[in-house]
Structure 1
Amino acid sequence: MTVGSRRGQATESLRQLTEAVRTESSDGARLVANIADNPICRVTVDTGIPCVVLAWGSYATSAQLRFVHECALDLLRRHALHKILGDDSALAVIPVDDQGWLREDWFPRALEAGLKAAASKCPNGFFGKQSVANVMSGAPVGITVRSFEQLDEAKAWLQTVKI
């Protein structure tokens, strides 16, 4: 498969995902309408680190979780960033299928897009912590991941990572 056909396939996949998220709930519609300001996950760029920031606000459906990660990947590419900071405090759980998708599909594409390091604040709940640990355990060689009890610790560590 050529790079052009992979991009075309990815664009069509994102279009379908966007439509699914937009139509599944009012919160999903708000997520699609404004990735930086919505109740599910605020996705922004912090130019001070620099990195993509994911701040989870509530439970995300599978489509919403995948949409958020596709948006993060787009921001990594568009801004030539190499780091992600996650505030996973409110992340209740990541379903097993989505954990597999993150490890086997998203992580390799993120590495290809230039991701080198990811730091997160641990989820508050037990199942969220287990989910994040399972995902992080599948990070490919080339991406360093760490989880912290405090967001400030995660941010400070990420600022020390040399790319």
Structure 2
Amino acid sequence: MAYYESDVVTVEWNESLGAVVMNWHAFASGEKYREGLNEGLELVEREGARNWLADLRELGTVPEADSQWTQEEWHPRAFRSSLSNMAVVQPESVVANMSVEDLVDEVGENTTSRIFDNRDDAFEWLRD
């Protein structure tokens, strides 16, 4: 069931995985990008989620200003939360992959992250 929906992202709670699932449907930047991530983090806090799955296949390249905001503002909050595992399904675009890899490389002390080519492998990793 959707916790939050917009024209660019759907945020869901997956009870069996104890995971917040972010399904990006289109390119997002600025307020739409940030609002989606903030809504996901609110759900993490509400549920005490340990797992996060972000399907970025349709997100596109994250603009520099949003990448910087993610690293400087969102990541510190996320890494202080209950999250332990962050699975990312990588974008189809090679250029977009590079921006995602930079964001995923920065993880918190108590957080493990991995990039996947498909959702099935990401779900399996979170199940384990």
Q: 1:37 to 1:67 in 2, by over 3 A?
A: closer
Q: Matched residues in 2 for 1:37 and 1:101: separation?
A: 21
Gaps of 5+ in 1: 1-33
- The structure 1 residue matched to 2:65, chosen from 87, 97, 107, is 97
Deviation beyond 6 Å, 4+ runs, structure 1:
none
Gaps of 5+ in 2: none
> Could you tell me which residue of structure 1 aligns to residue 7 of structure 2?
39
Structure 1 window deviating more from structure 2 (101-110 vs 143-152): it is 101-110
Q: CA deviation at 1:35?
A: 5.7
Partner of 1:153: 121
Larger Cα-atom Rg: 1
List aligned pairs for 1:120-139, cutoff 5 A.
120-139=88-107
How do 1:22-61 and structure 2 match up within 5 A? Answer: 36-61=4-29
Whole-angstrom CA distance in 1 between matches of 2:5 and 2:31: 18
SS at match of 1:119: strand
Distance 2:51 2:71 in 1: 17
Conservation of the 8 A alpha-carbon contact between 1:35 and 1:41:
no
List per-residue Cα deviations over 1:107-152 (Å, max 9, x = no partner). Answer: 1111212111100111011122111101011122211110111110
- Which residue type is aligned with residue 115 of structure 1? L
Say which of 77, 81, 88 aligns to 2:56: 88
Q: What TM-score do you get using the length of structure 1 for normalisation?
A: 0.73
Contact 1:100 1:135 in 2 (8 A): no
- For residue 48 of structure 1, give the secondary structure of its aligned residue in structure 2: coil
Identity fraction in percent = 25
Cα distance in 2, alignment partners of residues 69 and 84 from structure 1: 11
Specify which structure has the higher proportion of strand.
Answer: 2
Distance 1:65 1:35 in 2: 16
Structure with the larger RCO, 1 or 2 (CA within 8 Å, 6+ apart): 2
CA RMSD, Structure 1 to Structure 2 (Å): 1.4
For residue 123 of structure 2, what is the amino acid of its counterpart? K
Deviations 1:72-106 (A, max 9, x none): 11000111111110111101110112112212211
Number of residue pairs aligned between Structure 1 and Structure 2: 127
CA contact (8 A) 1:118 1:145 kept: yes
CA shift, 1:56, in A, is 0.5
